[in-house]
Amino acid sequence: MKASAGGYARANDLSHAMELLASSDGSGRVLAGGQSLIAAMNMRLSTGDMLVDISRLSELSGVTEEADTLRIGALTKHVEIGADPLIRAHAPLLAEAVTCIAHAAIRNRGTIGGALAHADPAAEFPACMLALDAIIHIQGSNGERSVAAEDFFEDLFETSLEEDEILTAITVPKAEAGERQVLQEIARRSGDYALVGLCLVARSTGHWVSLLSVGSTPVLAHNAMTLLDQGDVDGAVVALRAEIDPPSDTQASAGYRRHIAGILLRRAVAQAKGEIA
């Protein structure tokens, strides 16, 4: 189908983008890479949007080192994240995630900020944010604010972003020496949304386990994390299956997803220990 947009304006810089959003009478829609938004517009799932195109804002793109963290600009494209040496060295989970996201042409335009703001529970980056204990940086008309990833994702395609706010960057802690970051997922075909996916980050301070495609938001598996911290993998698998409430759809049932989540946790632990590739 053909998209039905309400209007379009290209932002020259962040403050211009904020002005545009403010002037949109609540119909504003931030257009970044557009790889989800334009598909939704073409399907007429989203109509009448006043598009604020921020894709040219170079100040929102790129990866920089800040002491113990990496700052990733919201407009950094998937392809750039996959190839970035800082990401590969300090947040390898994100580089691994990129290999699972759709296909090359999508990765060439899709942005990490767009993926997070879209908040698809089946997407990789939102779950990665939880497992990495990332901070989401947001510009609003009243200034900047930062939100912990776990507080950012509120419901299906819903985040704590207000209508007049733009996600500008993410910071993630740099991986410690010896830290393992693992992504395991099951998809029917290469590049498909995962039936279930699981991120495991094993740090000196503890384990972080997050999942995708098991609910209306990406979820942190707190009980499983606690049991992993205690070295109880079997217990963690049982706890994980008990603490998630996955959906059923045409691809798989809740029962399948729950079962697979446990399998993926075992595989992730084995991979983190170097037992499997």
What H or E segment, with its residue span, contains residue 186?
A: strand 180-186
Q: SS in 3 state form for 83-108?
A: HCHHHHHHCHHHHHHHHHCCCHHHHC
Of 32 and 199, CB closest to other proteins = 32
Q: Other C-beta atoms within 10 Å of 155: how many?
A: 11
Report in angstroms how near the CB of residue 192 gets to other proteins at its nearest: 7
Confirm if 244 and 228 have CB atoms less than 8 A apart.
no
Q: Does 277 bind other proteins (CB under 8 A)?
A: no
Which range touches other proteins (CB under 8 A), out of 89-97, 146-154, 169-177, 248-256?
248-256
With CB under 8 A as the contact rule, the residue among 69, 88, 109, 235 that binds other proteins is: 109
Q: How many CA atoms lie within 13 A of 1 on its CB side?
A: 13
169 membership: H or E segment, kind and range: strand 166-173
Query: Residue 98 interacts with other proteins (CB under 8 A)?
Result: no
Q: With contact defined as beta carbons under 8 Å apart, do 62 and 73 qualify? A: yes
Which residues 182-201 are close enough to bind other proteins by CB under 8 A? 186, 188-193, 195
Please state, in angstroms and as integers, the Cα–Cα distance from residue 51 to each residue in 23, 34, 55, 61, 143, following that order. Answer: 11, 10, 11, 19, 22
Site for other proteins, residues 253 to 272, rule: CB under 8 A: 253-256, 259-260, 263
- Terminal-residue alpha carbon distance, the chain: 43
Rank residues 24 and 213 by Cβ distance to other proteins and give the closer one: 24
Per CB under 8 A, does 145 bind other proteins?
A: no
In the set 12, 15, 44, 83, which binds other proteins (CB under 8 A)?
44
Look up residue 99 and give its amino acid.
Answer: T
Any contact of residue 13 with other proteins (CB under 8 A)? no
Q: Pick from 18, 55, 217, 224: which binds other proteins (CB under 8 A)?
A: 55
| Least Cβ distance, residue 234 to other proteins (angstroms) | 15
Sites of contact with other proteins (CB under 8 A): 1-10, 20, 23-25, 27, 31, 34-35, 38-39, 41-44, 50-51, 53, 55, 79, 102-106, 108-109, 186, 188-193, 195, 249-256, 259-260, 263
